[in-house]
Each structure stands twice: as C-alpha cells, then as structure tokens.
Structure 1
C-alpha cells in the first residue's frame, strides 16, 4: 500500500510539472560563416569575401537562385599574400555590398503573356535585396518601366506577399498587416464588380471599384494603391464574385503590401560603415558571388548600395569586431589567422498571444536551420527582429514581429488515464 502511495505522489508531481505552462522567452541564436584560414592551401592570396554561399546570414532567394550581399575585405597591405594575423584592414578597405536583383512578381508569374500595367505602374517586375540580412523591396527609377533599373536608395520591407486566395464577404474587413486593412463595401454579382476601400490605422486611405469579368485585362481586375511617387504600396486582384444564401462575397488573390520607405543617403553611417555610393567600384569588377546566373556577377557601375569602413580594423587574436546589425568578425587565438563572420539574431516571442488567441492559428512560421554546413538557405519571407539594426524609416510605424508560443504535453492524456487507474486501484484495496 505504501509503495502504491509513493508511486501516486511521484505521478502527481510529474503531472503538475506538465500542467504548469512554461514561460516563453525571446529566442536568440547565432549564424556562423565558413572559416578563413590562411594556413589552408586553398586560401588564395589578395582580397577575400563572404557571400550567401559561405555565410547563411545573407539573403539567398532559392528561386531563381539569386543573392545580393557580400562582405569584401580588400587586402591592400599584403596583396601578394594571404591576410595575416595582426594585419590591419585600413579605413575604407572593408566593404559591405548589396546588389538589387530583378525578379518577377507573384502576380506576373501567373501569366507570362498577361498585362500588368495598372494606373501607369508596371507590376510585372520588382527588385529585391538583402540589407544586413533582412529582405527589402527596392524602388525602381521609373515605376512604369522597372526593367530600366533602380538606384537602391529607397527600400521597404514586404509586409504581405501571397498568391493564396482570400474570400471576403460584403461588409467584411480583411486584416492585411502592419495596421492595414481592406474593407469590401459592396459586391455586385450581376456586374461582377467589387467596391473596396483601404484603411491604415482605422482611417480610410483610398477606395476603388474592380471587376472580375473574365474578358477584362489584368489591369481592370487589379486594385492598386500607390504613393505620391507612383511606387506601389498595396495591390491585389479580384478573381471572382459569388452570391451566397446570406451575403455576397469576392475572392481575392495576389495580395502585395509593403512598409514605409527607408531612404539611404551618401554619408549615412551603419555601425563601422559609411555609405560610399550606389555603384559597384572597379575594385570588385567581375566578382562572381553566390548564385546560379549572370545576375550575381559584380560589374563596375552596376546598381548597388556600397558601404565602406570608417575606421581601421586590426585582426588581433581572440577578438570580436562588431560591424552592424548583429554582424561581427571573430578571430581565434593562435599563431595563424583563423576568422569567421557571425550574426546574432533575435526572434521576439509574445507570451500573451496563446492566452488571448488559444485557437487562432499562427500564419507566421519561422524556421531556423542551425546546421553550420548547410548550403541550402530558405528565402527570407518573414522578418525576424535583428539585434542592433539601425535602419530608420521615414515614419516609425513598423510593428515588432512576434511569434506565438504554445506549450504541448505529448502523452498527457495517457498519463492522466494511468493516474486514474492507479487511484481506482488504491480505493478498491
């Protein structure tokens, strides 16, 4: 009998531990590059750089195999030799480069022969680039002809981009992202038209009427809201309209929404870097960095944001050299130079989200691959908060990214049933 009581007590303690929720905390993790080792025979003399192939903290778009970022060390001290322990990378010789990459939008991917000119804005292509890791959309020189190129001095985070279908009933509010909502005011089933208005922080910003008629072009099927410089802020298409028993509703697709613009100017400072310009310097001509096509080759004069170091950096042993946005160089102790590029990232966790929305599914899923030898990188489609990031927006309205936390207890029901059986056994005896 005493033995059974002891077992019951142990099981009760275990069950209590499973019932008490674990308080979630912000998740911090680090990403490491390959090692620069000047004793390796494969290490070439002269300049050296890390790109998305050798450092997974940089943006890599798996489809269609594009990257944009690299950290470039110009060896002006020992140009005929490898970089040595104790060498000083002179001021201006450490570069951060990001080259925008032209890519088809999701709406353009639906029809290669379609028309995507909406209110003098061409939605067929856009430019994407990483900026110290996170992905940004870059504003083109001419919104009506994005293929003409872009100067990467105006960038914005993508808040929403999806080719999923969304059903919205007449009078219903579609929660987009970042305090933006789209309201369906009225659905005209016979005319196959939808009247919508766009809100920001509860205030109406714009409205329009779009049609789902099959014989109309994409231009007339698409609702677009643009800013005063004709840069698209939000757009979506209406695929079809239906009449239900209680209400009418419309089916939307290809929704896109960007955040506030960040302006990058010559002389701006980001950590130990100053903005030097927006063209690839001759020093890096013909540099073939991570990717699978000719778009990932740097040519003199290519559009790119170019940052150079504003102070000298000495590569002493066992030292951490902070760069910007959670990026840092780390050297090992010893008699030869072994150094790596690191990035510290933080995922903000909302402890109250599970209590407030116990049944709501979390649409934002963050997958973190900590395998150091992995060569395949997931495209950054969600924005995790980066430590020490100093990018400033024109309007400080961006919300902190949160991940809902849930505590599961696998096998809990089985344990509860076992405790019940044991209790019944004790009572019977």
Structure 2
C-alpha cells in the first residue's frame, strides 16, 4: 500500500510539472530577419521595402501597436544598391497619454533607428527619449527624490501649502 501511495504521489508530481510547462504563454515572432534569398540579383526580390511588420530590428510598440520605420529601395540588377536608391523613413505616430487626467489627449512618438523617441515641440528634427509616461500619483516631501529614468530625477526643494506652490529641482546624473 505504501509503494502504491509513493507511486501515485510521484505521478502527481510529474503531472503537475507537465501541466505547468504546457500552460506557458505563446510567443509570437513579428518577422524573420530580412533575407534577399540565394539570388545575387536584387531585382529578383518580391518586395522593394521592409517595415516594422517585416523586419524585427525596427522599433515596434506592442502596447500601442505602432511602428514607424520603413526602408525602401529601387530594385536593381546585381547585388548593389546605387547611391540615392535606398530610403529610410521614420514617421511620427499619435499615442494617448497614460495619465487619466489627459484622457483623449495625444502626443507624437516615433521609432528612429529601432529606438523610441518623441519630437520636441512636434518638430521631428529635434528628438528626445520619452522618460516617463504613467498614471501613477506621487506624494513627495521636501528633499525626497523621484527617479524619472535615464538619469533624470525630480526633487521638491520648498513647498508652500497655502500658496499651492512647489519649488522643484530637475537634475540629470545628479547635477
């Protein structure tokens, strides 16, 4: 009887491991690495562009479902693309703020060289990394520091409760 219980317990333990392994999340791969095939002739390629849906090295925001990068080229004979026939494009995409107080409002975001950026004042010529966009509320005291990411921090220096004013210090890498 003891050996039957031991075998039953061992079988249950094995089944518990098997069920956990089979319950793993499905992993979806967006795209394969771009392959021109065995041909040395670019004119034999079926398409003349690749974007975030067909090239996994481009930026893609899985939460917002946006990507903005594309490379297009002129099909040519041979395996060389001549000067001016390869064009990289990155476009701004509107994205909703996470902060509930700004529901319905959007800001522009774009992928550039496979990284996420935001245009400063809507100008795609001047890009910055987005360091914080969440709907968390932070209660801080004078001298406490909030780490914003990318080396940035925000520290309240003085709080005027009656005047509803706060003197904040924004630092980068402690400076």
Same fold judged by TM-score > 0.5? yes
Instruction: Give the secondary structure class of the aligned counterpart of 2:133.
Output: strand
* Counterpart Cα distance in 2 of 1:50 and 1:103: 23
1:55 aligns with 2:55: yes
Equivalent residues of 2:143, 2:155 under 8 A apart: no
Structure 2 residue ranges without an equivalent (≥5): 1-30, 40-44
* Counterpart Cα distance in 2 of 1:134 and 1:89: 25
Instruction: Give the secondary structure class of the aligned counterpart of 1:137.
Output: strand
Structure 1 residue ranges without an equivalent (≥5): 1-30, 79-85, 114-123, 141-149, 204-429
- Residues 112 and 162 (structure 1), Cα distance of their counterparts in 2 relative to 1, 3 Å cut: closer
Q: TM-score, normalised by structure 2?
A: 0.63
| Equivalent residue, structure 2, for 1:160 | 132
Instruction: Give the secondary structure class of the aligned counterpart of 1:36.
Output: coil
Q: TM-score, normalised by structure 1?
A: 0.29
* Counterpart Cα distance in 1 of 2:87 and 2:134: 34
- Residues 128 and 91 (structure 1), Cα distance of their counterparts in 2 relative to 1, 3 Å cut: same
- Residues 200 and 131 (structure 1), Cα distance of their counterparts in 2 relative to 1, 3 Å cut: same
The 5-angstrom pairing of residues 267-416 of structure 1 reads none
Equivalent residues of 1:168, 1:184 under 8 A apart: no
Quick one: higher RCO (CA 8 Å, sep 6+), 1 or 2? Answer: 1
* Counterpart Cα distance in 2 of 1:34 and 1:134: 19
* Counterpart Cα distance in 2 of 1:110 and 1:61: 23
Per the TM alignment, residue 50 of structure 1 is displaced from its structure 2 partner at its CA by: 1.5
Q: Aligned to 1:196, which of 147, 167, 171?
A: 167
| Equivalent residue, structure 1, for 2:156 | 183
1:169 aligns with 2:141: yes
CA deviation profile, 1:164-213 (whole Å, cap 9, x unmatched): 2323124423333324322152262xx5935231232566xxxxxxxxxx
| Equivalent residue, structure 2, for 1:413 | none
* Counterpart Cα distance in 2 of 1:127 and 1:184: 32
1:138 aligns with 2:119: yes
| Equivalent residue, structure 1, for 2:66 | 66
- Residues 175 and 194 (structure 1), Cα distance of their counterparts in 2 relative to 1, 3 Å cut: farther
1:95 aligns with 2:95: no
How many pairs were matched up?
139
Per the TM alignment, residue 137 of structure 1 is displaced from its structure 2 partner at its CA by: 0.4
Q: Which runs of 4+ in 1 moved over 6 A?
A: none
| Equivalent residue, structure 1, for 2:28 | none
Per the TM alignment, residue 71 of structure 1 is displaced from its structure 2 partner at its CA by: 1.7
| Equivalent residue, structure 2, for 1:126 | 107
Considering fraction of residues, name the structure with more strand.
1
* Counterpart Cα distance in 2 of 1:169 and 1:103: 32
* Counterpart Cα distance in 2 of 1:61 and 1:174: 25
